Chains A and B, each alone.
Chain A
Amino acid sequence: MSQDLHTQTLTQLAAGLDRGDFSSVELTEALLARIESHGKTLNAFVTVTAERALAAAQRADTARAAGDGGVLNGLPLAHKDIFCTRDVLTTCGSRMLENFISPYDATVVERLAGAGAVVLGKTNMDEFAMGSSNETSYFGPVKNPWDLACSPGGSSGGSSAAVAARLTPAATGTDTGGSIRQPAALTGTVGLKPTYGRVSRYGMIAFASSLDQAGVITRSSEDAALLLGVMAGFDKRDSTSIDQVVPDYVAGLSGSLKGLRVGIVRQHFDAGLDEKCAAAVRESLAVLESQGAILTEVDLPNLDLSVPTYYVVAPAECSSNLSRFDGVRFGHRADNPEDLYDLYCRSRGEGFGAEVKRRIMTGTYVLSAGYYDAYYLKAQQVRQLIADDFRKAFANVDVIAGPTAPTPAFKLGDKTDDPITMYLNDIYTIGANLAGLPGLSTPCGFVAGLPVGLHLVGPHWGEETLLRCAHQYEQQTNWHKACPEDFE
């Protein structure tokens, strides 16, 4: 009965629980067993919360028997280890927080638990979400289930690998420059980054506060819609949360794509995009067209400046946010400090990895006396130009479609020598963060056995359109159902 539970989506599992085909405890046990047998191979989890999960599943089953329970009652998922989980280790992939037991729950964690979700564990990630390959994690890189020699993308690579390998039907993620969408593309999963302000950032360890946004990695857009409906909404504890009505995203999935105006960005298909990836993306655009969408060319003239803009703004914000790690109140503390200055410098020097230190220093440099105008202010001006490009494009189209990443998954170790090569991985995704727009990646094909993602970007609060477009596309294609051979 329960052998194939791991292959089902959240929506399918919810129906099975409703029918009484299996209990949440049986489902949770089946997935914990899979995590036990495959988790180490992939290094996808930092912490597995088996006891808590089974207790939550038991509560969900009891609630169901009494006719109670939220929309996610008894459904399992995993949290990226950037979300604070009360009384559970929350490391953010860093030595700095190796022993940090969060005293409170993030709003995302609280809301999903409130709807009845069962948390299987915390997924591995690039340290403080700074990376595009999961190689900066203090706990070692995550492996891509499609090819263990490859990266699952990053920074939400533990979440993407776990969902792709059917260790969990869904996982949360965060996206500052592409950290949900790029790993989703590289693992053949669906990744949704909502509009800035749509989901509360309270309890989500901050990297770059004007760019960070919480979202999900799932195996269908239908599941992403289900989870977003629970996660989204105003939260007074996040001063950048926006009070905007949360639509019924699941109900919004139906409806045809007839007349949907889809913008194709000329610059997306320039040099830099792998030719076979380009072909897969073009084919997916033809599918949308066959479903009634109208393809129109749009122009994002400042696209090339998005990566350098990001690498001023994000490090600047990170250098401020990570100043809280001082070795005094929580986190790593160096032994035998000579004085307070030595305590700060050595605690931070030992607690942070190389990439995090580089970003803090880049940020410190661009904010320092004499450089602020040339770098930080200039970048915020260019950011405005980039946002204007999107505004103009969305005057004529409902959705912008293109590649999520320039190549399929790359080999672990291939891009670690040159930070710039790694940074350029996010060229197609970063613009949405700079402009605060929602973005979604859904599987659209394979190149040499590795998945490719179709990237959709919408105007502010355009999640419904993105989800409907991706869901309707998924009804015509089977790419999102493909499973890596060793994880069937």
Chain B
Amino acid sequence: MSLDKDQVQHIAKLARLRLADEEFGETVEKLSRIVDFVDQLAQAATADVVPMAHPLDAAQRLRPDEVTEANDRDHVQQNAPATAGGLYLVPKVIE
């Protein structure tokens, strides 16, 4: 196994993913296989190769910083799990 249980636990924490106990073992095993598989990239000769930034070498387009959208809050918040007075509700963050 190229990844151990602690590493996978750490990755899950970084990714904000809670894994159920019964899926943990399989995740360690399959992630290890994926990492082993992509490890073959190490053999590629890439000295002096410029990493690709865009498949067509295009640059990010900029636009003037102007308000173009109307406020659609109420419509958008219909998908929110919990709101009050136009605000999104989350568990208490500051005591």
Dominant secondary structure of chain B at its interface with chain A: loop
A358 touching B76 by the CB < 8 A rule? no
Interface string of A404-428 (1 = CB under 8 A from B): 0000000000000011100100000
Among B3, B53, B90, point to the contact of A340 (Cβ < 8 A): B90
User: Does B23 sit within 8 A of A, measured CB to CB?
Assistant: yes
Count of chain B residues with a beta carbon within 8 Å of a chain A beta carbon: 52
Chain B residue numbers with a CB within 8 Å of A330 are: 79-81
Interface string of B5-34 (1 = CB under 8 A from A): 000100110111111100100110011011
B44 touching A305 by the CB < 8 A rule? yes
B20 touching A383 by the CB < 8 A rule? no
Interface residues of A in 153-212 (CB under 8 A from B): 195-197, 210
Shortest CB distance A341–B (Å) = 8
Among A305, A368, A384, point to the contact of B50 (Cβ < 8 A): A384
A344 touching B16 by the CB < 8 A rule? yes
Q: Once bound together, how far apart are the Cα atoms of A361 and B31, in whole Å?
A: 8
B91 touching A337 by the CB < 8 A rule? yes
Among B23, B31, B41, B60, point to the contact of A375 (Cβ < 8 A): B41
Interface residues of A in 357-390 (CB under 8 A from B): 357-358, 360-362, 364-366, 368, 374-375, 377-385, 387
A357 touching B27 by the CB < 8 A rule? yes
Chain B residue numbers with a CB within 8 Å of A319 are: 15
User: Does A55 sit within 8 A of B, measured CB to CB?
Assistant: no
Among B33, B51, B63, point to the contact of A377 (Cβ < 8 A): B51
Q: Once bound together, how far apart are the Cα atoms of A100 and B76, in whole Å?
A: 11
Chain A residue numbers with a CB within 8 Å of B1 are: none
Shortest CB distance A335–B (Å) = 10
Chain A residue numbers with a CB within 8 Å of B90 are: 328, 340, 343
Among A196, A308, A434, point to the contact of B38 (Cβ < 8 A): A308
Known: A103-B76, A308-B37, A377-B51. A196 touches B56 (CB 8 A): yes
A362 touching B34 by the CB < 8 A rule? yes
Q: Once bound together, how far apart are the Cα atoms of A358 and B41, in whole Å?
A: 19
Among A323, A337, A419, which residue has the most Cβ atoms of chain B within 10 A? A419
A368 touching B14 by the CB < 8 A rule? yes
Among A302, A348, A383, A384, point to the contact of B18 (Cβ < 8 A): A348
Known: A340-B93, A361-B8. A379 touches B18 (CB 8 A): no
Chain B residue numbers with a CB within 8 Å of A92 are: none
Q: Once bound together, how far apart are the Cα atoms of A197 and B54, in whole Å?
A: 11
B15 touching A364 by the CB < 8 A rule? yes
Chain B residue numbers with a CB within 8 Å of A338 are: 91
A210 touching B55 by the CB < 8 A rule? yes
Count of chain A residues with a beta carbon within 8 Å of a chain B beta carbon: 72
Q: Once bound together, how far apart are the Cα atoms of A197 and B19, in whole Å?
A: 36
B14 touching A364 by the CB < 8 A rule? yes
A383 touching B52 by the CB < 8 A rule? yes
B17 touching A349 by the CB < 8 A rule? yes
B88 touching A329 by the CB < 8 A rule? yes
Q: Once bound together, how far apart are the Cα atoms of A344 and B18, in whole Å?
A: 9
Among B12, B35, B44, which residue has the most Cβ atoms of chain A within 10 A? B44
Chain B residue numbers with a CB within 8 Å of A327 are: 81
Q: Smallest CB-CB separation from B14: which chain A residue?
A: A364
Shortest CB distance A211–B (Å) = 8
Chain B residue numbers with a CB within 8 Å of A385 are: 44, 46, 49
User: Does A261 sit within 8 A of B, measured CB to CB?
Assistant: no
Shortest CB distance A221–B (Å) = 24
A419 touching B81 by the CB < 8 A rule? no
Q: Smallest CB-CB separation from A360: which chain B residue?
A: B15
B54 touching A420 by the CB < 8 A rule? no
A382 touching B41 by the CB < 8 A rule? yes
Q: Once bound together, how far apart are the Cα atoms of A420 and B34, in whole Å?
A: 7
Q: Once bound together, how far apart are the Cα atoms of A197 and B63, in whole Å?
A: 17
Interface residues of B in 39-95 (CB under 8 A from A): 39-42, 44, 46, 49-56, 58, 60-61, 63, 72, 75-76, 78-82, 88, 90-93
Interface residues of A in 231-258 (CB under 8 A from B): 236, 239-240, 242
Q: Once bound together, how far apart are the Cα atoms of A259 and B42, in whole Å?
A: 41
Q: Once bound together, how far apart are the Cα atoms of A333 and B50, in whole Å?
A: 42
Among A341, A358, A380, A460, point to the contact of B31 (Cβ < 8 A): A358
Known: A354-B23, A384-B50, A385-B44. A343 touches B38 (CB 8 A): no
A378 touching B44 by the CB < 8 A rule? yes
Residues in A lying within 8 Å of B, measured CB to CB: 99-101, 103, 195-197, 210, 236, 239-240, 242, 302, 305, 307-309, 311-312, 319, 323, 326-331, 333, 337-346, 348-350, 352, 354, 357-358, 360-362, 364-366, 368, 374-375, 377-385, 387, 418-420, 423, 434-436, 460
Residues in B lying within 8 Å of A, measured CB to CB: 3, 8, 11-12, 14-20, 23, 26-27, 30-31, 33-35, 37-42, 44, 46, 49-56, 58, 60-61, 63, 72, 75-76, 78-82, 88, 90-93
For the A-B complex with A240-B60, A361-B12 known, give 12 more contacts whose Cβ atoms are closer than 8 Å. Answer: A103-B76, A240-B54, A308-B41, A339-B92, A340-B93, A345-B18, A349-B20, A360-B15, A362-B38, A365-B11, A368-B14, A384-B51
- Which 3 residue pairs spanning A and B have beta carbons closest together? A436-B55, A349-B18, A380-B51
Task: Offer 18 A-B interface pairs, CB within 8 angstroms, sorted by A.
Answer: A103-B78, A236-B63, A239-B60, A305-B40, A308-B40, A326-B16, A330-B80, A343-B90, A352-B17, A354-B26, A358-B30, A360-B15, A374-B42, A381-B49, A381-B50, A381-B52, A384-B51, A387-B55
